[in-house]
Amino acid sequence: MIHLQNEGPTICPALIMVMHNGKTNKHGKTVLSGCIRNKIVELCPIMMCSSYMFQRFHNEGEPLLTFTSSGEWFGVKVLKTCNNPTTEWKGSGARMADLAGIGQDQIRRQGRWNNNSMNGAYLTGVPRETMRTSAGFPLAQGHFYLPRAILEPPVELQQKVFPWTDQWLGKVRLGVAETSNSAISFLKILVTFRVTFLQDAVFMGIKYPGHPIFINPLFHDELFRQFSSDLQAAVIENEGNDLVNMHLRTAVPLIAQRLEMMQKVFDAENRIRDEQIKTVIQHLSDISTDRAPVNINVHIPGDIRQPPVVTTDFEAGPSTLVSERPLPVVPSSALVQSESNTTVGYRFAMALTLPIVWRE
């Protein structure tokens, strides 16, 4: 387990597999392959490995490993049972990488299908591009951002996962147990698994609360409950602070600032509009339920060619709504002159009916 540098703002642990021989490694060269944490928690290979180890040593009661000598733990299999998974995993991984646009050179290196002398005898670096795209991140370097990794579990909670790890790691380093690079590397993997497992378990528990792994008392511990609550709150608080938005604010701050100002203006206008709609609805409710009086004033100008004006007003609580709307223009055909030519009368082209009053 190593931490890849310059992969992004989030610490990027990588699980590296070291192979010295095999049917695709005829030169006996040290060949590396690996994976990083997936953006989607349920597809994360590191989550799967750490959960598998937790299930074995915490839930199934498998005897704890001892590292006094290499012979005590070298015979323990990482995968206890398998049905030729290598070919299946390599095939599906190659297809996923191809769909993500990875070049054949990177796919060959990851699957160790390159048999040319340069790849077999000289190249040993891990195929980072394939690892990034397989984990759901862009091909280019520097985009590794994992929201569920923004908060690290408290040390006291970490020590409840693989609790014997610290003891044996100290003994191996002090020489009390047999000094072995393999033992130190394996124990360091478990130390890293503590952090990643607890972070992943928070969101796996939300999606799959009935999974058998969650019967362990650890997940009912107050420390885990508090960490779960804090991590979920931190993820929500940092929502929108993903790497794309961070690059946007850094590269084009003026555009980002302008968009933010426009959003604030839209929000303010929406709030004002909502208040206006509520006021209108309240006024209409007051009128329809007789809680507010309605006055209708008809003003007839001296010049009969000018349209009459109807004014309505009412009071509802502290506010007053006044609307003014002219009646339809009286056509000349509506003018009626009496036989004596001394009295001029008129009639409206449209009767003043209840719907008109309601609209007012």
Q: What is the mean pLDDT of the chain?
A: 76
pLDDT score, position 339: 42
pLDDT score, position 53: 93
Q: Is the pLDDT of residue 52 over 90?
A: yes
pLDDT score, position 41: 94
Q: Is the pLDDT of residue 69 over 90?
A: no
pLDDT band for 295, please (50, 70, 90 cuts): low
Mean pLDDT lowest among 4-13, 25-34, 71-80: 25-34
With 0-12 / 13-18 / 19 or more C-beta atoms within 10 angstroms meaning exposed / middle / buried, residue 55 is middle
Mean pLDDT lowest among 69-83, 222-236, 319-333: 319-333
- Select the highest-mean-pLDDT range: 25-29, 164-168, 196-200, 235-239: 196-200
pLDDT band for 342, please (50, 70, 90 cuts): very low
Mean pLDDT lowest among 10-24, 37-51, 96-110: 96-110
Tell me what percent of the residues of the chain surpass a pLDDT of 70. Answer: 61
Of 195, 213, 189, 188, which is closest to residue 148 (Cα–Cα)? Answer: 195
Q: 311-331: buried (b, 16+ CB within 10 Å) or exposed (e) per residue?
A: ebebebeeeebeeeeebeebe
pLDDT of 190-216, one tens digit each?
999 999 999 999 999 999 999 999 999
Q: Is the pLDDT of residue 72 over 60?
A: yes
Q: Give the residue-averaged pLDDT of 233-248.
A: 73
Q: Is the pLDDT of residue 336 over 50?
A: no
Select the more confidently predicted residue: 26 or 74. Answer: 74
How far, rounded to the nearest angstrom, does the alpha carbon of residue 322 sit from its chain's CA centroid? 49
pLDDT score, position 324: 45
pLDDT score, position 152: 94
CB 194 within 8 A of CB 84: no
* Prediction pTM value: 0.59
pLDDT score, position 346: 41
With 0-12 / 13-18 / 19 or more C-beta atoms within 10 angstroms meaning exposed / middle / buried, residue 126 is buried
- Distance of alpha carbon 318 from alpha carbon 323, whole angstroms: 17
Mean pLDDT lowest among 114-123, 131-140, 291-300: 114-123
Q: Is the pLDDT of residue 354 over 60?
A: no
Q: Is the pLDDT of residue 65 over 50?
A: yes
- Distance of alpha carbon 36 from alpha carbon 49, whole angstroms: 12
pLDDT band for 111, please (50, 70, 90 cuts): low
